[in-house]
């Protein structure tokens, strides 16, 4: 089961996910312009994913995130440029959104 399917089961629409990513794209572009910011995001994401990977069900959902981190890192360092920049920006936006401490805190309804 993938993240979008899990979110859909929790009542989050594809449009809501896309809207959240749109809001993070400017942040993602800023992160990608700075290797240090990119590395901080990747390190924080890998740390969280390492912890989440131990949990049943949730761990499976996040198993591919380290590959995404490596792809972003390789793109920023110029080692792999076959993926369109728009894809790298979207992936970075997703990491920035999903792994932001602010977004991990449940909001009051």
Q: State the pLDDT at residue 101.
A: 57
Tell me the DSSP string of the chain.
--HHHHHHHTT--HHHHHHHHHHHHHHHHHHHT-HHHHHHHHHHHHHHHHHHTTSTTHHHHTTTHHHHHHHHHHHHTTS---S-HHHHHHHHHHHHHHT-HHHHSPPP-
pTM for the model: 0.73
Q: How confident is residue 19, by pLDDT bands cut at 50, 70 and 90?
A: confident
Q: In whole angstroms, what is the distance from residue 53 CA to residue 49 CA?
A: 6
pLDDT tens per residue across span 44-100: 999 888 888 888 877 777 778 899 999 999 999 999 889 999 999 999 998 888 877
Cα dihedral value 19, 23, 25, 29, nearest 10:
180
Longest dimension (CA), the chain: 44
């Amino acid at each position: 089961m993938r993240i979008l399917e899990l979110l859909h089961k929790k009542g989050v629409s594809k449009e809501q996910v896309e809207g959240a990513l749109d809001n993070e794209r400017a942040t993602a572009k800023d992160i990608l312009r700075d290797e240090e910011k990119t590395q901080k995001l990747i390190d924080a994401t890998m740390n969280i994913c390492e912890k989440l990977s131990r949990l049943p069900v949730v761990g499976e959902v996040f198993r591919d995130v380290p590959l995404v981190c490596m792809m972003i890192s390789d793109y920023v360092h110029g080692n792999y440029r076959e993926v369109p920049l728009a894809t790298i920006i979207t992936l970075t936006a997703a990491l920035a959104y999903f792994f932001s401490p602010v977004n991990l805190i449940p909001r009051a309804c």
